[in-house]
Structure 1
Amino acid sequence: MIKGCTALVTGGNRGIGQAFVEELLAQGAAKVYAAARNPADVTTGIPVRLDITDPEQAAEAARTCADVTLLINNAGYFANERLIMTDDLTAAREEMEVNYFGTLTMIRAFAPVLGANGGGAIANVLSVAGMVPSPFMGGYSTSKAAALWLGTIARAELAAQNTQVTSLIVGSVDTRMAAHVDGRKEDPRDIARAGLRAVERGEPVADTDWMAVDARARLARDPARYERQLAKLLTVENLRTGR
C-alpha cells in the first residue's frame, strides 16, 4: 500500500503534513505530492498549489496528479475561539469550511482518480477533539466530528470501487497549531508512522497516540464526569484569560 504508491498530502508544507511527506518517502513511496496554498513553502516532495476550500483548485489538482493512489487529507484550521461565547460565527464557519467542506471537496475531486487507479486509499487526519467534545476548541471540535462521520460515509460510498478510507484520531502534537498547548506533545513523525501503519492495516478508525487513546477511554468510562471536568477546566481557563 505505501511502498511504491503515489501520494498527495494536503497541508504538506509543515507540521504533520510535512511529516507524512517525509515518512512516505522514507517508506518507499514512488512519488509524493505536497500540496499547500503557497507551494514555495514546500521543502520536501513535489509542490502543488492547492487551497482545499476552492473546488476549482481541487479539480485542477486531481487533473494534474492523476496518478495518485493515496490521498492524505491533512490540511486543517484551528481558530482558537469560543463557539458560543463569542461575538460572531466567523471563526466557526471558517473551521467548518476547511476541516469539513475542504475535506469533502478533496474526497469528491479525487474519488474518480483513486477509482481509476484501482481503488487506493484515503486517510483523513482528524483530532481527538472530533471524537471527544472539547469546549476549549468548540468550532474545531464540531468540524472534526463532522469530518469523522464524513469518513464513515465516504467509506460506504466508495466501497464499490475498492477505495479504503481511514480516519486518524490525533492528540496533541508538537506543531504550530498546538503552540499554545501545555504538556506532552507527540513528534509529528511518530504520528505519520502510526497513520501509515493504520492505512497499511486497512483500519477504518485509528488512534495515533497516547492522548487519543486516553481521552476516549476516560469518556467511555464515565461520560458525565468527563464532561463536568472539561467544564471546570474551561471555567478556570476563562478566569485566567478573560475570555
Structure 2
Amino acid sequence: MDVEKGTRQLKSLIEKLERNNRTLRSHPTIEKIERGELSQAQLRHWATQLFIGNKAHNANILGLIYAKCDDFPARKAIVENLIEEELGRVSGANRSHPELYLEFGEAIGIPRAELLNASMTPDATAMMHWMYWLADSKPWYVTLAGISLGSELFNPDAYVRVIDGLSRHYKLSDDALLFFSVHVKVDQDHGDSSAGSIFRAIPESAAAETLWAVETHIELMRRLWSDINPPPV
C-alpha cells in the first residue's frame, strides 16, 4: 500500500473521529482525572478494568502478531517492542510493563493479587476478546495496525494528562506513575514510526479492512476508558 496514501486515509479517519469526540483526545474520564473528580473507588475500578481488559495482554498479542509476520523488518520491530513490554530495556525502566502497572495499582490501593484476579466487566471483556480475535483471524498487518495505531497515536497525550491529574489530585509519586510516563516516550516513538512501516506491508486490497481495525480498536478503547463505576454490590 502506498505510504502517503495510507497516511492520508488514516489522518482523515482520525479527524472524523475527533470531530465527533470519539477518541481519547476528548474523553470524560481523562477530564475527570485532570480535575480530581474520580472517587477512589472509581479510580481503582477504572485502573483494574484497563489492566485486565487491555494492558495485561499486550505482550501476548505482540507474540501472536510476530508468529504470523513474514516481513523481516517488521519482525525486528515487533521483537523490539516485545522486549520493551517484557523487560523495559528501551525505556530504561528495566521492569516489564505489567509489573509497572501492578506497582501503580498498589499505589492506589489495589493489592496485586486482587488486580491479577479481578472479574472483567463487559467493556473489558469486549476489548480482550477483540484483540485475541483480531490476532487469530486477521493478517498480522491488520492486527498490528488496529492495535498499535489505535492506541499509540493517542496514548502519549492521554497519559501526560493522566500523570498530571494523578500527581496533583491523588498525590501519586513519579515512581507510582512510571507505567504512564514510560509510555509517553515509547508510544510516541512507535506512533511516529509504525504507520509508515505498517502501510508498506499492507496490500492495497486490505486497506479498508485495516482502517476498520484501527477505528474499531479506538472505539473499544474509548468505551473501556469510560468504565469507571464499580458494579453495585
* TM-score of the two chains, using structure 1 as the length reference: 0.29
Whose helix proportion is higher, 1 or 2? 2
- Judging by fraction of residues, say which structure has more strand: 1
